[in-house]
Amino acid sequence: MKRLVSGIKPTGELTLGNYIGALKNFVQLQNELEDTEFFIFIADLHAITTMQEKSNLRKNIKNIAAIYIACGLDPNKVNLFIQSEVNEHAELGYVMESTLYIGEMERMIQYKEKRANNEEAIRTSLLTYPALMAADILLYDASIVPIGEDQTQHLEITKVAATRFNHLYGETFTIPSGFTPKTGARIMGLQDPTKKMSKSADKTPKDYILLLDDLNQVRNKIKSAITDSDNKIYFDKENKPGISNLLTIYSSLTNIKIDDLVAKYENISYGEFKSDLAEIVVSELSVIQERYKEIIGKKELDLYLDKGRENAKRVASRKLKKVYERIGLGRK
Ligand code: ATP
Ligand code: MG
How confident is the model at residue 262, as a pLDDT? 97
Assess contact for 4 and 29: CB atoms under 8 A: yes
Q: Measure the CA dihedral 185/40/145/167, to 10°.
A: 150
The architecture CATH gives domain 2-185+299-327 = 3-Layer(aba) Sandwich (3.40)
Closest ligand by atom to 17 CA: 1
Give the closest ligand to the alpha carbon of residue 196. Answer: 1
User: Which residue among the candidates 2, 114, 159, 203 is catalytic per the annotation?
Assistant: 114
Atom of ligand 1 nearest to the CA of 147: 18
E-state strands within the chain = 2-8, 36-42, 78-82, 144-146, 177-179
Instruction: Tell me what the mean pLDDT of segment 289-317 comes to.
Output: 97
Which ligand ends up closest to the CA of 50? Answer: 1
Selecting among 9, 196, 221, 319, the annotated active-site residue is 196
- 14-38 burial code (b ≥16 CB/10 A, e <16): bbbbbbbbbbbbbbebbeeeeebbb
Please tell me the distance between residue 48's alpha carbon and the centre of ligand 2 in angstroms. Answer: 13
Give the mean pLDDT of 290-310: 97
pLDDT at residue 113, as a whole number: 84
What gap in Å lies between CA 254 and CA 3, rounded to an integer? 28
**What pLDDT, on a 0 to 100 scale, did the predictor assign at position 302?**
98
For the question of residue 114 being annotated catalytic, the response is: yes
Mean pLDDT of all residues belonging to the chain: 95
Strands 177-179 and 2-8: unpaired
Residue type at 290 in one-letter notation:
E
Query: Nearest bound ligand to CA 150?
Result: 1
Give the bridge partners for 179, in sequence order. Answer: 146
Least confident window among 181-195, 225-239, 293-307, 311-325 = 181-195
Could you report the per-residue pLDDT of 247-287, keeping only the tens digit for each? 999 999 999 999 999 999 999 999 999 999 999 999 999 99
Decide if 62 is catalytic. Answer: no
Phi, psi of 39 (to 5 degrees): -120, 105
What is the number of the ligand 1 atom nearest to the C-alpha of 9? Answer: 10
Q: What's the CA-to-centroid distance between 150 and ligand 2, angstroms?
A: 7
pLDDT in tens, 124-165: 999 999 999 999 999 999 999 988 778 899 999 999 999 999
Atom nearest to 15 CA in ligand 1: 6
Predicted confidence at residue 110, as pLDDT, reads: 83
Ligand 1 center from residue 20 Cα (angstroms): 10
Ligand 2 center to 11 CA (angstroms): 9
pLDDT at 332: 81
The predicted-structure confidence for 176-186, as pLDDT tens digits, reads as follows 999 887 767 79
Instruction: Spell out the domain ranges in the chain.
Output: 2-185+299-327, 205-293
The ligand 1 site (C-beta within 6 Å) comprises 8-9, 11, 15, 17-18, 20-22, 147-148, 150-151, 185-187, 196-201
CB < 8 Å & 24+ apart, contacts of 295-303: 295/66, 295/69, 295/70, 296/62, 296/63, 296/66, 301/62, 301/65, 301/66, 301/69
**% residues pLDDT > 70 (the chain):** 99
**Could you give phi then psi for residue 64, rounded to 5 degrees?**
-65, -40
What 3-state DSSP class applies to 210? strand
Q: Is 59 a catalytic residue?
A: no
Distance in Å, CA 189 to ligand 2 centroid: 13
Q: Kindly report, residue by residue over 58-110, the tens digit of the pLDDT.
A: 999 999 999 999 999 999 999 999 999 999 999 999 999 999 999 999 999 88
Nearest Cα residue to atom 16 of ligand 1:
18
Calculate how far, in angstroms, residue 34's C-alpha sits from the geometric centre of ligand 1.
26
**Helices 299-327 + 54-70 axis angle, to 10:** 100
Q: How far apart are CA 59 and CA 298, in angstroms?
A: 14
Q: Given this model, what pLDDT does residue 201 score?
A: 74
- Please state the rounded mean pLDDT for residues 208-220: 97
List the residue whose alpha carbon is closest to atom 7 of ligand 1. 198
Q: What single-letter amino acid sits at 227?
A: T
CATH number for the domain formed by residue range(s) 205-293: 1.10.240.10
Gap between the Cα atoms of 243 and 281, Å rounded: 15
Give the Å distance between the CA of 45 and the centre of ligand 2: 14
Residue 207: Cβ-neighbour burial (10 angstroms; 0-12, 13-18, 19+)? buried
Closest ligand 1 atom to residue 46 Cα is: 10
Does position 119 have pLDDT exceeding 70, yes or no? no
User: Residue 118 — pLDDT band, cuts 50, 70, 90?
Assistant: low
194/182 Cα distance (integer angstroms): 19
Determine if the pTM surpasses 0.85: yes
**Ligand 1 pocket: which of 152, 198, 245 to mutate (most atoms <8 Å of CB)?**
198
Region at 121 (left for phi over 0; alpha for psi -120 to 50; beta for the rest): left
- The C-alpha atoms of residue 285 and residue 215 are separated, in whole angstroms, by 8
**Is the per-residue pLDDT at 32 higher than 70?**
yes
| pLDDT at residue 108, rounded to an integer | 93
